[in-house]
Chains A and B, each alone.
Chain A
């Protein structure tokens, strides 16, 4: 068993260090890069918490869409299935019904990625600005 502080506690400590001790004392490019670094630490903390479940959910949806059976290891299979989906979309295989279903799956995956990388970004759905061609 690993000692305290836990991984989550270490990430919180780094984030606090950037925010409370570094940021007030830097300007210009160094400040900008410190903000980026601090944001990366927050991403890692959310990823540690959310990614395992998100990966399993993504795998299940992709298996369903592409009609394949789930295998044991989710992260490897998700990479393979995403490559397969990308190839299928690129080749124009599948009708508009398939692309519609793919969009729904991809929107779910995208929301899960956003929840880790940029929480709250999905509060605006762009409905007012979409033209119907």
Chain B
């Protein structure tokens, strides 16, 4: 991905691209690279044409081998979510031509707000009622996303519609666990519980964002501005999203506030149901256990990539020693029921 010294070149390339795409002279300037530590690059910039100045973001994909579904699926999902009323950035341009920046990219509206978990929690602490409002907005946003039936989603992000999402998820996590470098009895115990306690299949498979959490949302003092990072959007059980946002690991120390460390569960669920979503407590709990297992295995797998040299990076190495946090959360979730 681009580095600071390349931002001038990138500005020129964006000017050329948008001038051609919009059919009028566009000058791109004031580029700022964000996404510290992330593998896909987000660069904020301004585009000035004869109508004025627009605040935009260009998202450049990481190399193809780490992409989940691709730019067409992600922007397709974004546009469906926007049409359904979810808080997302409007997509202006999608480009699969890799000659511009080495990988495909898309250009979207730049939304206001902060996205780093610590910044979000600081904002919440400074504004009374903000966290609970965000909890309701997250619930309403999920209701909008989940109103999109699976068969309307881009084909490349569709999982099989005739197999229960819980069954598909169990087989994917088993594959991941088989790639770990050490025996993982805690994860195995979690998987046993998940196998034995599978929820009923959802009434219908829907669009699922898959990674809404504190850290993947934009928040201002007004509340939730946007749900970010749709690259892993797929089809499945809506409870996957509800459980994932409520993992302890996304609370960053605010353990008592189940949703992202900023809101109790109740606000999210009430708004979800008011927006037409169906909430089932057992499914929710099951997907929370699954999410905890999945992220624990995910952290372990990051360190595998480091150790095996496919992605050598100190933060990835550190993840291996963070997996135990998820193991603890997992055992606590199982504790009264095993």
Mark A residues whose CB is within 8 Å of B: 28-29, 32-33, 36-37, 39-40, 43, 79, 82-83, 85-87, 89-90, 92, 96, 99-100, 102-103, 106-107, 110-111, 113-114, 117-118, 121-122, 124-133
Contacts and interface: CB of A to CB of B under 8 A. Distances in A.
Nearest to A133: B282
B265 A32 contact: no
Interface string B275-315: 00000011011100000000000000000000000000011
Contacts of B336: 130, 132
A126 B285 contact: no
Nearest to B320: A117
A55 to B, nearest CB: 14
B240 interface: no
Interface of B: 36-37, 182-186, 188-189, 191-192, 197, 246, 248, 255-256, 258, 265, 281-282, 284-286, 314-315, 317-318, 321-322, 324-325, 327-329, 331-338
Contacts of A83: 183
Contacts of A131: 281-282, 284-285
Contacts of B182: 79, 82
Contacts of B282: 131, 133
A111 B317 CA distance: 21
A133 B337 contact: yes
21 contacts: A32-B315, A36-B317, A37-B314, A39-B318, A40-B317, A40-B318, A79-B183, A82-B182, A85-B188, A86-B185, A90-B192, A99-B189, A99-B192, A107-B335, A110-B328, A118-B324, A129-B258, A130-B332, A130-B337, A131-B281, A133-B285
Interface of A is mostly: helix
Nearest to B199: A133
B325 A106 contact: no
A59 B48 CA distance: 67
A79 B184 CA distance: 10
Given A36-B314, A114-B324, 10 more contacts: A79-B183, A85-B183, A86-B183, A92-B192, A99-B338, A114-B325, A118-B325, A126-B329, A127-B332, A133-B197
B242 to A, nearest CB: 13
Nearest to A118: B325
